């Protein structure tokens, strides 16, 4: 029976309770806004705080839903094409971690792409699972990592037939989608589940001109950041499951282990509202978003020394999310970090992600025609000679040298099994050494240029010169590192020889 997608049961219940007069003797301590610091009230206004409520009887319980949360999650499952949906208030991070905990015991093997988000590494640390990393398809021309390929996965499954699950990234931060249908078929031939980090793809289910959603082509579990490209509030995400390969009771227990016991109902209600919006207006909103994205793409691609990522149809590049705009700026003689600073500080435009050679922009249902024109004007301005360094060659030489070294050390489809599991390395005795003394030692920490939060080094992995050089160039060209104890990268923590 089709559900009534016009309804927003959780949002409606929160609205009614927020306006119901009563004396509050429960958390939070601001008591429906009465105790909020005035500067915060001045910033946000007074109306939001009466709705900042806890798990009152009218509002159901996130970990044992029987009322409005259960109904809202059922509506979301239908809208996004799942058998069952869980609302997440700790972002997609908690969903990816729970997916690993729900499918892998300590010592079990799981196949993942090497460009997986750091939250998956945290899931490995918590679960004790053994990662089998596949390097994604890498394009030395664009300098971008794409998806894992079916061929690489088939090789990994043949080499490690006792693997318990496969996880893939779909799409990448740059909107690149692999051949997920073929990957799902390969995974299911081994009767194991395909887990998908679909953080950047919750909109795929709502327009035929977007790549297919992970669930529609065979994924068993997918985690989506509803807040990243749809209308939910920051941290509000969803986890979707279909079929019989996922133990749903264990998944629920994993989420209880990881999520806050004081979930924000503002976030939960925003998920309900975002689902309602997409169920009723999704195709219309995505049609407009695709139009705006194409307008930006066509105008920027005509500017000198700029290039826009377009579909390539390589083994690791099966489709492209055209609402994701990726512009290569290195031909201007600027790194992505330098261009990002100019955009943000001088031109009034803020990108989602700067990298060594590119700027990546999320164009979503919230962007306007004015936003697009400002973006086009910013690129027009920065492409002019007075913004560009006189000598482009040194940057290009540096980038080509780094890409050649990285490709040699980690060629496409290369399969890596760390010397220690991330859990063993995380809890092992460590020592801190000058970075030039850490080569061929085992990393005890993860080091991520952030965003996107993809570790260049992770616990249990041997430290190689290409990774160190890449991280050093990120710093030289204006990027930042997270996850490590020394963000300047003068030192690194390594597993002690006594381990």
Contact between 477 and 335 under an 8 Å Cβ cutoff? The reply is yes
Burial call 211-237: b when 16+ CB within 10 Å, e when fewer: bbbbbebbbbbbbbbbbbbbbbbebbb
Average pLDDT rounded to a whole number, residues 121-145: 90
Question: What is the tens place of the pLDDT at every residue in 340-367?
Answer: 999 999 999 999 999 889 999 999 999 9
Instruction: Look at strands 109-113 and 165-169 and give their pairing.
Output: parallel
**C-alpha distances in Å from residue 324, one per residue of 173, 177, 234, 257, 461:** 8, 12, 19, 34, 32
Report the CATH number of the 418-495 domain. 3.90.100.10
pLDDT at 452: 60
Say if residue 28 is preceded by a cis peptide, omega within 30 of 0: yes
pLDDT digits (tens, 9 = 90+) for 173-222: 999 999 999 999 999 999 999 999 999 999 999 999 999 999 999 999 99
**Structure-block tokens of residue 65:** 């839903």
Task: Indicate whether 3 pLDDT > 90.
Answer: no
Q: Which fold has domain 9-280?
A: 3.40.640
pLDDT at 370 over 90: yes
Average pLDDT over residues 10-33: 95
Q: Which two tokens stand for residue 253?
A: 């227990």
Q: Residue range 405-427: average pLDDT? A: 70
Q: Are 9-280 and 283-391 equal in CATH topology?
A: no
Which tens digits make up the pLDDT trace of 234-267? 999 999 999 999 999 999 999 999 999 999 999 9
Say how many Å lie between the first and final Cα of the chain, rounded. 58
How many angstroms separate the CA atoms of 151 and 449, rounded? 29
Number of Cβ within a 10 Å radius of residue 333: 19
In this structure, the strands spanning 165-169 and 144-145 are unpaired
Q: Which CATH code for domain 283-391? A: 3.90.1150.10
Q: What residues does each domain of the chain span?
A: 9-280, 283-391, 418-495
pLDDT value at position 464?
86
């Amino acid at each position: 029976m089709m559900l009534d997608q016009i309804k927003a049961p959780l949002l409606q219940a929160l609205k009614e309770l927020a306006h119901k007069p009563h004396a509050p003797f429960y958390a939070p301590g601001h008591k429906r806004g009465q105790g909020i610091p005035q500067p915060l009230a001045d910033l946000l206004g007074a109306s939001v705080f009466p709705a900042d409520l806890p798990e009152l009887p009218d509002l159901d319980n996130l970990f044992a839903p029987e009322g409005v949360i259960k109904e809202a999650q059922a509506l979301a499952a239908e809208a996004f094409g799942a058998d069952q949906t869980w609302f997440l208030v700790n972002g997609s991070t908690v969903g990816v971690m729970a997916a690993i905990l729900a499918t892998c015991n300590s010592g079990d093997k799981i196949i993942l792409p090497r460009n997986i988000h750091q939250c998956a590494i945290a899931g490995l640390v918590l679960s004790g699972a053994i990662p089998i990393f596949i390097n994604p398809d890498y394009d030395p021309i664009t300098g971008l990592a794409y998806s894992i390929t079916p061929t690489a996965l088939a090789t990994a499954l043949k080499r490690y037939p006792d693997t318990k699950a496969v996880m893939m990234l779909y799409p990448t931060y740059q909107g690149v989608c692999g051949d997920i249908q073929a990957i799902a078929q390969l995974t299911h031939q081994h009767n194991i589940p395909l887990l998908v980090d679909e953080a950047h793809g919750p909109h795929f289910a709502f327009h035929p001109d977007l790549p297919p959603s992970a669930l529609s082509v065979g994924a068993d579990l997918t985690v989506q950041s509803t807040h990243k490209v749809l209308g939910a509030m920051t941290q509000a995400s969803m986890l979707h499951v279909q079929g019989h390969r996922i133990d749903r009771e264990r998944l629920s227990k994993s989420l209880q282990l990881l999520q806050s016991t004081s979930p924000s109902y503002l976030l939960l209600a925003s998920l309900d509202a975002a689902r309602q919006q997409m169920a009723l207006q999704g195709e219309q909103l995505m049609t407009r978003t695709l139009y705006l994205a194409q307008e930006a793409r066509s105008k920027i691609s005509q500017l000198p020394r700029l290039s826009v990522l377009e579909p390539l149809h390589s083994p690791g590049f099966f489709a492209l999310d055209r609402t994701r705009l990726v512009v290569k700026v290195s031909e201007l003689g600027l790194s992505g970090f330098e261009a990002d600073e100019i955009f943000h500080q001088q031109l009034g435009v803020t990108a989602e992600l700067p990298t060594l050679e590119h700027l990546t922009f999320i164009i979503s249902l919230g962007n306007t025609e004015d936003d697009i024109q400002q973006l086009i004007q910013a690129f027009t301005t920065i492409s002019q000679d007075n913004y560009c360094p006189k000598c482009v060659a040194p940057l290009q030489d540096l980038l080509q040298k780094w890409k050649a070294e990285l490709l040699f050390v980690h060629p496409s489809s290369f399969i890596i099994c760390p010397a220690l599991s991330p859990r063993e390395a995380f809890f092992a005795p460590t020592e801190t050494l000058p970075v030039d003394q850490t080569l061929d030692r085992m990393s005890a920490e993860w080091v991520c240029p952030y965003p996107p939060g993809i570790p260049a080094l992770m616990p249990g992995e041997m430290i190689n010169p290409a990774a160190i050089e890449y991280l050093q160039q990120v710093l030289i060209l204006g990027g930042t590192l997270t996850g490590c104890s020394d963000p300047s990268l003068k030192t690194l923590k390594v597993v002690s020889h006594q381990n």
